[in-house]
């Protein structure tokens, strides 16, 4: 770290550590040694309690760069507990876990405006390489994280292994699936959202819940920070982050259940809801290993983006919440809802749709992967729920958007499309049909939908409506209602999805198994049982 010692620092330096800790106690969290008169007020803290309580994370791998993240929070559940000054945080990247061979290091500033989070984007890393990273603040050192850069754009890649996960409700169960993912040391982990849930503490109304949120439903920036910190207090989640870079998007619960654009589910005036959305998006930015280019501006934050993994995988991730038209026909499930097909409605918004359609035209890798939140494939519930045949919150409620997307996939001949989704707390593997009313219509690709990490608690082998819906939905090739995640393996010849399931999440350390597996052969649209 650079020497920023000033006469004031030296005066403070003459104080004993015990005296400084007493000061720390009085100010709440940390004694701060700060250069007087400095406009940046960069400070070296002495922490009363360990500041790296939220662990470390990395994300968005590029061939030469990956985001490194941490947040200083000695009192994580209570606003963070940091003094309101800028703090220097040292970082280092090494090619070995023991840090005998440090390849880059530097100093970042953790700012009060961003909850003392740090987003470091080292440049010039080697492609397709495993690295280890850690942070320092004051005399404290963070846990070590493992990460991996992407292959260069034109590189031939023999194999890429990534996980697909989402929907981790803190109260509903233990985050064992995150722990199991950590053990797999993936090349990256794609999170489909619902990383947190915004609801109030259950308070014992549901005796099946294994642990509790704190406080009321969350609305303010500090509320969202504290909720993220509660989730991040989970050692299994921290282990997942420390094991591999994450590629994160959000779903609805990072803000509010089933929100659509500037509308929440309670008819709050949009200009009021946007204040809440701004707080939620800022906390998302502060907590997630995303790039500075994703930083929110007021209630807007652009998270749709593209990553390339050599000639093997072209990966676009989408945002189906921020720009969508409002749900129609009651917003839950509906039958005969003609508004669902209104071409003036959109789930991506015009700008993102245009962007995606351009990406599809330039996709050249073996696998065109699109990661997003809600299932695009159709689920026809006619037999199990005659008055609620389709879910209006999914692409079934935005069928004109779906047809535009599928038609564009066909038009561009984007190679081997694979869509990833989550949200529904059920595993599905499905073929994508140009016309779901006609099982013989063209198969345009496949979709893998991850179940939840915990939402819905233990679950069952199949959902209650499965027998009723399977006959009407022959495009669905795999289903499970257990908790877990998907482990995907891409090679130049095939894409395999192993649907991992846990026997229980309401007890710690549940047993994992592969519930089923699908394989897609390159050049042959459609999934087959492995
Ligand atoms: Fe969810």
Residue 469 has a pLDDT of 96
> What is the distance in A from the centroid of ligand 1 to the CA of 453?
9
Three-class secondary structure of residue 103 per DSSP: strand
Nearest to 258 by CA among 338, 188, 347, 321: 321
> What is the distance in A from the centroid of ligand 1 to the CA of 153?
34
Contacts of 524 (CB under 8 A, 6+ apart): none
pLDDT per residue of the chain (530 residues) written in tens, 0 to 9: 444 444 334 434 444 444 444 444 444 445 666 554 444 667 778 898 999 999 999 999 999 999 999 999 999 999 999 999 999 999 999 999 999 999 999 999 999 999 999 999 999 999 999 999 999 999 999 999 999 999 999 999 999 999 999 999 999 999 999 999 999 999 999 999 999 999 999 999 999 999 999 999 999 999 999 999 999 999 999 999 999 999 999 999 999 999 999 999 999 999 999 999 999 999 999 999 999 999 999 999 999 999 999 999 999 999 999 999 999 999 999 999 999 999 999 999 999 999 999 999 999 999 999 999 999 999 999 999 999 999 999 999 999 999 999 999 999 999 999 999 999 999 999 999 999 999 999 999 999 999 999 999 999 999 999 999 999 999 999 999 999 999 999 999 999 999 999 999 999 999 999 999 999 999 999 999 99
> What is the distance in A from the centroid of ligand 1 to the CA of 167?
4
Over the range 459-473, which residues count as b (16 or more CB within 10 Å of their CB) and which as e? beeebeebeebeebb
The C-alpha angle 300, 162, 315, rounded to 5 degrees, equals 50
* Beta strand ranges found along 166-277 (DSSP E): 188-191, 246-248
The answer to whether residues 47 and 75 touch, using CB atoms and an 8 Å cutoff, is no
> What is the distance in A from the centroid of ligand 1 to the CA of 140?
36
Three-class secondary structure of residue 24 per DSSP: helix
> What is the distance in A from the centroid of ligand 1 to the CA of 339?
25
> What is the distance in A from the centroid of ligand 1 to the CA of 307?
25
Residue 382 has a pLDDT of 97
Token pair belonging to 129: 């390489």
Residue 32 has a pLDDT of 67
> What is the distance in A from the centroid of ligand 1 to the CA of 192?
9
> What is the distance in A from the centroid of ligand 1 to the CA of 374?
10
Q: What global pTM score does this model have?
A: 0.94
Distance CA 79, CA 62 (A): 32
Nearest to 421 by CA among 108, 81, 165: 165
> What is the distance in A from the centroid of ligand 1 to the CA of 354?
27
> What is the distance in A from the centroid of ligand 1 to the CA of 506?
17
Interhelix angle 221-232/270-287, nearest 10 degrees = 40
> What is the distance in A from the centroid of ligand 1 to the CA of 370?
19
For 207-221, what is the HEC assignment? CCCCCCCCCCCCCCH
Distance CA 158, CA 419 (A): 21
């Amino acid at each position: 770290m650079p020497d920023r010692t000033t006469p004031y620092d030296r005066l403070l330096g003459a104080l004993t550590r015990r005296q400084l800790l007493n000061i720390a106690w009085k100010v709440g969290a940390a004694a701060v040694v700060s250069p007087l008169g400095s406009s940046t007020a960069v400070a070296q803290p002495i922490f009363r309690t360990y500041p790296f309580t939220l662990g470390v994370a990395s994300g968005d791998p590029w061939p030469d760069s990956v985001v490194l993240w941490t947040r200083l929070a000695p009192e994580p559940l209570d606003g963070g507990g940091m003094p309101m000054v800028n703090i220097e945080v040292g970082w280092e990247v090494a090619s070995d876990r023991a840090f005998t061979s440090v390849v880059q290091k530097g100093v970042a500033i953790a700012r009060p405006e961003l909850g003392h989070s740090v987003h470091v984007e080292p440049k010039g890393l080697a492609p397709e390489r495993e690295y280890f990273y850690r942070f320092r603040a004051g005399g404290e050192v963070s846990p070590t994280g493992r990460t991996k850069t992407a292959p260069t754009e034109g590189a031939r890649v023999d194999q890429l292994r990534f996980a697909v996960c989402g929907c981790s409700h803190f109260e509903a169960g233990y985050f064992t699936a995150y722990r199991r993912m950590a053990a797999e040391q993936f090349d990256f982990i794609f999170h489909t959202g619902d990383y947190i849930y915004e609801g109030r503490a259950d308070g014992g109304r549901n005796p099946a819940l294994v642990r509790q949120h704190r406080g009321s439903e969350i609305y303010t920036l500090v509320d969202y920070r504290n909720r993220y910190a509660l989730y991040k207090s989970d050692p299994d989640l921290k282990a997942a982050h420390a094991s591999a870079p994450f590629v994160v998007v959000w779903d609805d619960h990072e803000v509010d259940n089933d929100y659509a654009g500037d509308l929440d589910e309670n008819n709050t005036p949009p200009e009021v809801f946007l204040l809440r959305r701004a707080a939620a998006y800022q906390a998302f930015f502060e907590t997630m290993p995303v790039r500075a280019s994703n930083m929110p501006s007021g209630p807007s934050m652009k998270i749709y983006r593209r990553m390339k993994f050599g000639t093997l995988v072209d990966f676009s991730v989408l945002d189906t919440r921020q720009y969508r038209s409002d749900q129609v026909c009651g917003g839950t499930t509906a039958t005969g809802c003609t508004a669902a097909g209104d071409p003036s409605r959109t789930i991506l918004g015009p700008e993102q749709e245009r962007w995606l359609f351009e990406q599809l035209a330039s996709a050249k890798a073996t696998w065109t992967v699109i990661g997003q939140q809600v299932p695009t494939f159709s689920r026809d519930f006619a037999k199990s729920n005659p008055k609620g045949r389709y879910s209006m919150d999914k692409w079934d409620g935005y069928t004109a958007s779906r047809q535009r997307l599928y038609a564009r996939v066909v038009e561009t001949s984007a190679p081997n499309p694979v869509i990833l989704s989550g949200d529904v707390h059920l595993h599905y593997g499905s073929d994508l049909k140009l016309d779901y009313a006609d099982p013989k219509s063209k198969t345009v690709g496949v979709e893998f939908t991850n179940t939840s990490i915990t939402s819905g608690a233990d679950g069952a082998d199949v959902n209650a409506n499965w027998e009723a819906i399977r006959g009407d939905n022959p495009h669905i090739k795999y289903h499970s209602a257990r908790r877990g995640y998907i482990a995907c393996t891409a090679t130049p010849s095939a894409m395999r999805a192993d649907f991992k399931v846990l026997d229980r999440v309401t007890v710690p350390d549940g047993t994992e198994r592969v519930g089923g597996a699908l394989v897609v052969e390159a050049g042959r649209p459609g999934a087959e049982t492995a």
